[in-house]
Amino acid sequence: MSIAIMCSGGDSCGMNPAIKSFVDYVYEKGLTPYFIHEGFEGLINNKIKKAKHKDVAGIMHRGGTIIKTSRSNRFYEKKFRDIAYKNLQAHNIDKIIMLGGDGSFQGLNVFANEFDISFIGVPTTIDNDIYGTDYCLGVDTALNVITNALDDIRDTSSSFKRAFVVETMGRDCGYLAMVSAITSGAEICATPEVEINFKSLEKRLKHELNNGRDYILAISAEGSNKTEKIAKWLEEKIGIETRIIVLGHIQRGGNPTVFERLMANEFVTLAVDKLLEEKAKLAIVYKNSEFEFIDIKETVSNSQVINKKLLKQLEKMIK
């Protein structure tokens, strides 16, 4: 019996630990593990290879993914999905573990409905925006990368009596910005979820600057579209020299944290066990400190809502 693993969409720390755990556990179960390289594009191009222990030796600490990832427009076309299925048949693969997000899950769900394919989706994205799970692989490492950068930025900010507006990733979800702002003690945080009360902030920050504050740290999620606006407001209304820093893709890199490595192992081994028990079109999620499986349709048909406690903390900061 053969089972494959693939990555799709944006890369994320935690992918390599998941890949290593997959290979080791599948061999332990007496099965044959396969890699699908380069996501859906690799599935179409038949970049499918049997995985060996030597392929995953020494990758637990590495960021990114050794089997690569991609976004594929061709997979939307039925003729290319037909090719992909024939490639899987040639390797006797009918079970897949997908490391990805909503879009990847949707694509694989369409594929599984058309052909005799069983799959488990493992939520893997630094945005932490997949419905039904409190945690996605990659978010813990990304938060640590952001926090380390903010700590360094605060040093120079305080030295020059400047404000810094730091933009994090998060196109549709402000989780990264929100958590990093709270844990770094930032003065301002902009996310798509909550509107900033600039009038109230102006009053508070001017009072603090007049009473000894000598720097300001602002965090802005890219999806808030407020990075430039906040910088201009700080200079014109608050009267403090301001710099913008866009962290960009460094947030995807780095060594996976201990928590990330443990969670990758749990996600993958439970997913393999589930695929051996039954035909599945499911996502494995981590909710209220427990793992569970939910129908893939539930995951892709709903939008993630950020924890209410976090939202309340954010509102206190910017209201």
The helix/strand/coil state of 199 is: helix
| Residue 96 and residue 206 in one domain | no
Q: Is residue 316 part of a domain?
A: no
The pLDDT, as a whole number, for residue 184 is 93
Domain edge (last residue) among 194, 228, 252 = 252
The pLDDT, as a whole number, for residue 234 is 97
| Residue 179 and residue 217 in one domain | yes
Q: Containing domain of residue 287, as a range? A: 2-138+256-300
Task: List the beta bridge partners of residue 165.
Answer: 218, 244
Q: Is residue 318 part of a domain?
A: no
Q: Terminus-to-terminus CA distance in the chain, angstroms? A: 57
* Nearest of 1, 292, 267 to residue 118 by alpha carbon: 1
Please spell the DSSP secondary structure of 144-172, one letter per residue.
Answer: HHHHHHHHHHHHHHHHHT-EEEEEE--SS
| Residue 106 and residue 201 in one domain | no
Check: CB of residue 315 under 8 Å from CB of residue 296. no
Number of domains in the chain: 2
**Which CATH number do you get for residue 72?**
3.40.50.450
| Residue 148 and residue 102 in one domain | no
| Residue 246 and residue 147 in one domain | yes
| Residue 115 and residue 13 in one domain | yes
The pLDDT, as a whole number, for residue 137 is 97
The pLDDT, as a whole number, for residue 318 is 78
pLDDT digits (tens, 9 = 90+) for 206-247: 999 999 999 999 999 999 999 999 999 999 999 999 999 999
| Residue 93 and residue 165 in one domain | no
Sign of the alpha-carbon dihedral angle for 217, 222, 224, 226: positive
Q: What one-character DSSP code corresponds to residue 137?
A: B
| Residue 130 and residue 267 in one domain | yes
Q: Is residue 10 part of a domain?
A: yes
Q: Which residues of the chain have pLDDT under 50?
A: none
| Residue 20 and residue 49 in one domain | yes
Q: How many residues does the chain have?
A: 319
Domain edge (last residue) among 252, 269, 285 = 252
The CA angle 193-165-100, to the nearest 5 degrees, is 50
Tokens of 76: 């939307």
**Which CATH number do you get for residue 160?**
3.40.50.460
| Residue 90 and residue 130 in one domain | yes
CA-to-CA dists, residue 40 to 31, 46, 77, 294, 304, angstroms: 23, 10, 12, 23, 25
- Catalytic residue numbers? 127
The pLDDT, as a whole number, for residue 160 is 85
